[in-house]
Structure formats: structure tokens, C-alpha cells
Amino acid sequence: MTDSELEALLLAPESDLLEKKASFSDRNEVRKTVCAFANDMADHQRPGVILIGVRDDGSCAHLAVTDELLRNLAAMKDDGNILPLPSMTVQRRIVRGCDVAVVVVQPCLAPPVKLKGRTWIRVGPRNATASAEDELRLAERRRARDLPFDIRPLPSATLEDLDLQLFECEYLPRAVAPEVLAQNDRSTTDKLKALRFLDPSGRPTGLGVLVLGKDPRRHIPGDYVQFLRIDGAELTDAIRDEKQIDGPLAELLRRLEDVLKAHNAVAVSITESPTEVQRPEYPLPALEQLARNAVLHRAYDGTNAPVRVYWFSDRIEIHSPGGPFGEVNRQNFGQPNITDYRNPHLAAAMKVLGYVQQFGAGIPIARRELQRNGNPPAEFTVEATHVLATVRRHP
């Protein structure tokens, strides 16, 4: 955005593409605007802009645009409150001598976008809650050719392949605000469409099959985890235990974490202090984070390979099909604040189900837990077609 374009916005009245804020004191109001701009109800197909540090009449509010303020604004992109994750940029600009934080929000290719389970849209210069008809119009606007795998329709699947009881009893109450759910008289099919489990024509999407599928592997052959417990340090050594872990997303993750817990021996030490100290071979939270990352970030299309967890006598290897995606590359992999999503709507579903607390925090949490437990740091091998995470046993 040029200086002249920005100056014109400063002088323009607020609209369904422009909002001005004197400060960032009410973060939730700014989140509502980000959500509304991402939904682009008027179908402008142009970004919405939030100017922070400017009053409604365009005069300068003399706000100090600090690095902390910019970080807090940028955190709205992936703090998990707005789902699916919005595409937005944040920068500091000086306009007519005024220090301004500029937030530019791109329209989402796969609306509706929700803030804490509620869909917000722009009605002129204000934010409003979307009606059922508004959400239907947003859902119908999706363009299949631009969609990631997780919300593309799967030709082999039908509505009968989805577990509707699982949807109504477990997923829906977590995904939609209670008061919205209480007023919602739409059909189950419309609810499935609104949450991207069905495309606008009623066909199950990859997300629908991954999260609600009665038999996900029937339609996505690689949707499972191969677990091997190997009695030695080489792949050719004897296999102590072998499992193929599959099922809808929440069941798959629960079963995988049960297996990791069952195989994780705990050593007891009385030499470090007068009381017993229990130290596992591997910190379970680190293994959980790395395994969830593998399920979330893997490629589901173009490969039938599973996520592979190989538990050797001296290490655990977690193989995830699909190399780095988007702005993530071999050089910046695992660095703080560097994250991108091959399956953004699957990420949102994992957040709804409680398997993601904060986006982009999986690897930092794993590193922290390994350090606390006394394990060596995790090692990552990043290739074009896969990512390997290696965790060494506590010495």
C-alpha cells in the first residue's frame, strides 16, 4: 500500500472495508473486525484495512506504535480465536506525521470465518453477527479450485460415510457458541456445510472424512499412524510391538497417545534428592506435540503413506509425509513465529477438539519439555517430501 493510498484511507469515512481505532484497548472488537473483513460479505474481493492510532474523523490519536503492540496485533492471526486462520499483515507506518499500526486482512477463499464460534460480517461501518442466510451465502461462495485438500470434496464419499452422532454430540457443541447453537434451527446438513464437513453441494470434504468419517481410510488410504516398537537401534532388528492406528481424528489421536504412554518407561531415582524422583525416558507432552504436528501438517493428497512412529531402544523417530509448506522452508523450520498450514481447516478442527492450545507452539513446547526432562534436543530432518523428528532417550 502506497503512502498516497494510505493517506486517502486516513481521510475516508469508515466502511465495510475500513475501520479506524484510536487504540488497541479492546482486542476483541479488533478481532471481530478481522473476522468480518475475512468474510467479505459484500464480496468486494479486496482486503479490509484497520488503522490503529487514528480517530474516526481521521485525526491522529498520538498512539505509540511499539514492537509489543505490533506483536500483539500479529498474534491475532494464529492465537486460535479466529478460525480458519485469517490471512493478514501488520506493519507500522507514518501517515501525515501520525504513527499508525496498519492491519490488512485478505478475504478468505473458504468462508465463513468464525470468532470463538460466531460468524461476524461487516454491515457498512460496523460489525454484526451473521444470520443463517448470511452464513449460507458465505458457504456458497467457496471456490473449489482454490481450496486446500482438507475442504475439497471427496468424490468417493457420501453423507452416509460421516458419523452424524459424533458431529451433533461431540464436535458441534465445541465448535459453536452455546447461545448461537440454542437459536440455530438449521438442518444437520446445513450445519455440516457451515463447518466445512460438506461442500456447498452436499459432498463430504476431506475435513469431514478425517474428523467424522466412519472409515476414513476407505477414502483417504494414508490416514493412519504406523507404530513400531523395535527391540534394538536398527530398523532390521526384532519388532516388539506393531500397531496401525486409525479412525476419526479425535479417536486416532487418543489411541496414539495411549500407545505412547504405555510404552514410555519411567525410571525412579533417589540420588538427586531425599525423595523419589520419577523421570520418564521421554517427556510425554513432547511426544504428543510432535505426533500431533505430524498428523496436522502432513500431506494427505498425492501420497498413501501413513505417519510413522518408530520407537527404537535409543530414540523415537516420527516421520510425516509431505515437506515444508508455504513460508516454512528447510532453513527456518522450527523457528519461533514461522508457521504455515497445508491443512488450515484441520488445524481449526484440532483446536476445537482441544488438541491444539496455541498455533505455532508445538515444537517450542516439545523442546521445552525435552529440556526439563534432561533429554537431548529434538532433531529435525526436513526434505522436500517428508519431515523426520528424532527424539533421543534420556541418558
Q: Are 49 and 90 in contact (CB under 8 A)?
A: no
Q: What does 60-79 look like in DSSP terms, one character per residue?
A: B------HHHHHHHHGGGTS
Tell me the backbone φ, ψ of residue 63, rounded to 5 degrees: -85, 135
pLDDT at 266: 75
Helices of type H across 158-223: 164-166, 172-175, 178-182, 188-194, 206-212
pLDDT at 147: 77
CATH architecture of the domain formed by 225-392 = 2-Layer Sandwich (3.30)
β-strand partners of 103:
50, 90
Q: What does 3-62 look like in DSSP terms, one character per residue?
A: HHHHHHHHHSPPBTTEEEES-SS-HHHHHHHHHHHHH-TT---S-EEEEETB-TTS-B--
pLDDT band at 277 (very low <50, low <70, confident <90, very high): low
112-151 pLDDT per residue, tens? 999 999 999 999 999 999 998 888 788 777 654 467 899 9
pLDDT at 287: 97
DSSP count for the chain of H helices, then E strands: 13, 16
Whether 273 shows a pLDDT value over 60: the answer reads no
pLDDT at 143: 55
CATH architecture of the domain formed by 3-127 = 2-Layer Sandwich (3.30)
pLDDT at 326: 82
User: Which residue's C-alpha cell is 507432552?
Assistant: 285
What residues contact residue 4 under an 8 Å CB cut-off, 6+ apart?
A: none
332-384 pLDDT per residue, tens? 898 887 888 889 999 999 999 999 877 778 999 999 999 999 999 999 999 98
CA distance 287 to 366: 7
Q: How far is CA 199 from CA 141, 175, 326, in A?
A: 10, 18, 24
Strand pairing of 386-392 and 379-382? antiparallel
pLDDT at 144: 47
291-324 pLDDT per residue, tens? 999 999 999 988 999 999 999 999 999 999 998 8
Q: Are 352 and 175 in contact (CB under 8 A)?
A: yes
CA distance 117 to 71: 24
Strand pairing of 277-280 and 266-269? antiparallel
pLDDT at 137: 80
β-strand partners of 239:
230
16-63 pLDDT per residue, tens? 999 999 999 999 999 999 999 999 999 898 999 999 999 999 999 999
What nine digits make up the cell of 180? Answer: 448461537
Q: How far is CA 330 from CA 148, 159, 316, 320, in A?
A: 22, 40, 21, 15
DSSP-derived secondary structure letter, 298: S
Q: Are 150 and 205 in contact (CB under 8 A)?
A: yes
CA distance 273 to 232: 32
CA distance 65 to 383: 39
Q: Kindly tell me the sign of the dihedral angle through the C-alpha atoms of 229, 230, 236, 239.
A: negative
Average pLDDT of every residue of the chain: 91
**Domain residues of the chain, as ranges?**
3-127, 144-216, 225-392
